[in-house]
């Protein structure tokens, strides 16, 4: 099962004990999205050239930074904050993380749909939307 992982900027992620995530946890991801902006964390630094970044690229896992303070950015917080959290349905043993970790099953939110993410690196633009499964 593939997924897209959306997380808060690094300045926010490492303020406590945190959730340990290794490559084995994300190898089925199709994108790693890092949110940054006022109250979330500092702008992410490009990790181009690191071994981890190279592993992502070779595995077709696409990194994406979203700068929420940018006036051109449209981000549907309601979708990410208010859709049902399916974490304990898929991983009941991880119930302790339910307040910090959200697992959104798009088909539970909108039946017969999935999330489509389109990125244009040259234009520096990306868009994600829900699309009906063909």
Q: How far is CA 85 from CA 5, 63, 80, 91, 115, in A?
A: 14, 23, 9, 11, 16
Q: What is the pLDDT of residue 51?
A: 66
What is the tens place of the pLDDT at every residue in 82-130?
889 999 999 899 898 888 888 899 988 899 999 999 999 899 899 999 9
Detail the DSSP E strand segments found in the chain: 3-8, 29-36, 62-67, 113-120, 125-132
Q: How many Å apart are CA 45 and CA 116, to the nearest integer?
A: 25
Tokens 């946890």 identify what position? Answer: 25
Residue 44's pLDDT band, with cuts at 50, 70 and 90, is low
């Amino acid at each position: 099962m593939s997924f897209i992982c959306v997380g808060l900027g690094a300045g926010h992620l490492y303020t406590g004990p945190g959730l340990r995530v290794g490559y084995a946890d994300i190898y089925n991801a199709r994108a790693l999205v890092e949110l940054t902006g006022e109250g979330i964390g500092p702008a992410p630094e490009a990790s181009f050239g690191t071994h981890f970044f190279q592993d992502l690229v070779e595995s077709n896992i696409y990194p994406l930074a979203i700068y929420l303070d940018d006036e051109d950015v449209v981000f549907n917080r309601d979708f990410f904050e208010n859709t049902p959290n399916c974490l304990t349905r898929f991983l009941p043993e991880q119930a302790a993380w339910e307040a910090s970790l959200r697992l959104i099953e798009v088909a539970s939110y909108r039946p017969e749909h999935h999330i489509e993410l389109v990125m244009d690196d040259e234009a520096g633009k990306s868009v994600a939307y829900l699309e009906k499964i063909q």
